[in-house]
Amino acid sequence: MIKAGIIGDGYTAAELLRILAGHDEVEVVSVLSTENVGRRIDSLFPHLTGFCSLECEESDVERLIGRCEVVFLALPHGLSVNIALRLLENDIKCVDLGADFRLKDPSLYREYYELEHGAPEMLNKAVYGLPELYRDQIKRSAIVANPGCFPTGAILPLVPLLAQGIIKTDGIVIDSKTGVSGAGRTVKPASHFCEVNEGIRAYGVGTHRHGPEIRQELSLAAGIKVDMIFTPHLVPMNRGILSTCYAQLADGINAGSVRKVLEDSYRDECFVRVLPDGTMPHTKWVYGSNFLDIGIYTDTGSSRVILVSALDNLTKGASGQAVQNMNLMLGLNERKALMYAGVHP
């Protein structure tokens, strides 16, 4: 069995443990924590009872050296850099679920995360962890930057169309709705039940940290800087993200090209499903799964393109995608421990 470690004990760590409990080639041998040292992980997350009984260990990276071949960093931004460097020095592969290696421009990291990056020379060595786009690079990498949940839902529908010149590179609008688990397990006033229930609100308007991450990947696909607006909204549900992306057909492009390009791009991809004409995604269809669903509408009169995507923010948006990346990095079957349907209703 390949030995894995997890640094962190929040929702994404619990989701990693849930998924990896079904992996027959990887065993989690250590979970590091700062606030719950000495507590069993199944006492923190009782749904893991019978699946994982590890005690949380002190958050010291040295505890993992010599014990693990791969480590998941399930940490807030700013905490992964030094840990990752130490792990890499000891030939331990890393999947960073945080933001520290996603942006290639350290000035953007400084602007949006209000920190100087601790190892800017590593930004071009870390591979952005969207397997559908960067599978070959992920297979050869020792460190993968697991994408943000919102970016996954926006990038996968839009990139094939930009790469093939099907839509214009300006005026793209991305409107996303997310469940509350995206805010993490730490108690915050804005995520209290009374603040969230029976309401919906926009947040991070024009300033959300996933905006430059989305723009980076869309611009790489298009070959020029893409003009886009991203606005997230918080809705009263636990899990899931529904993103609606608006764009314009490029001049001279037939509306049918949108569906053809997306179906051709994802025909052989296990975890991206392009839905039939007239069917739009529902977050319940992907709840608890590693699938991302895409619905397509094109208006021939206005040349407007509307793409709707749905994913589970904790699975394909975080831990499921991290396991998908790990499988590739270790030379395993990419689908290992991830082939299960969403929970519906």
What CA–CA distance (Å, rounded) separates 273 from 196? 30
Across 133-152, b (16+ Cβ under 10 Å) vs e yields: bbeeebbebbbbbbbbbbbb
Q: Is 194 a catalytic residue?
A: no
How many residues are recorded in the chain?
345
CB 217 within 8 A of CB 152: no
* Pairing outcome for strands 172-178 and 228-234: parallel
CB 329 within 8 A of CB 94: no
The active-site residue, picked from 56, 149, 194, 245, is: 149
Residues labelled as active-site residues:
149
